[in-house]
Structure 1
Amino acid sequence: MKKRNIRILAILLIIAFFFSFIQTRPYSVRHSTIYTNDNTLEIELYIVTNRFFVIHPDQYCKEIIQKHRRINKLSADTTYQIVLFANSWCFKKGYSCAEYKYRVDNDRIQLQK
């Protein structure tokens, strides 16, 4: 009985360690495509969230857009298409969690429908 409890506890600790390791990186951009027109910029981002579910996906996408604009020093009006995946396996199989399209005008991020 005692060995069984130790085995179950060890398995639970391994699973907990695995899931905490997965969620150490908040997200990773797996694929990005940029299209340019006359004075507009369209960006597609395929993002692996490393989470089982995103509680507020709209706010999560806005944070990703703000960070992307800050890193790449973008100032032009931009359209973002963001496709979220839960993990790498879902990305490889093509099972997306959500897909959003945003318009950024003068650092104001708006969800397009």
Structure 2
Amino acid sequence: MPKIVILPHQDLCPDGAVLEANSGETILDAALRNGIEIEHACEKSCACTTCHCIVREGFDSLPESSEQEDDMLDKSLGTGAGKPFKLPGARYRRRFSSRNPALHYQPCA
């Protein structure tokens, strides 16, 4: 089972976390399933760039982005949390800015 290491984030998960993800599961879905409320204003459709994060390790385990996603990434600060993981050992950090004025963070469980 792939593991996702979430680095400490003051609002989302102050102590960080290590999550087990199902093969093909997105970073976002794995985080949400484990009580880490990553912002996702477009209902997880990868249309708004609010769930984007920075992949520190394991980037090569992610599938190649589509042309539409590349266009969205040009408007964002990092890689999408909506990307499914294939291999264990990926580490990521949530970006610190947002274009969503309705943002409400909850700490991890």
**TM norm. shorter chain > 0.5:** no
Select the structure that is richer in strand.
1
Select the structure that is richer in helix.
1
Looking at CA atoms only, which structure, 1 or 2, has the larger radius of gyration? 1
TM-score, length basis structure 2:
0.26
Quick one: higher RCO (CA 8 Å, sep 6+), 1 or 2? 2
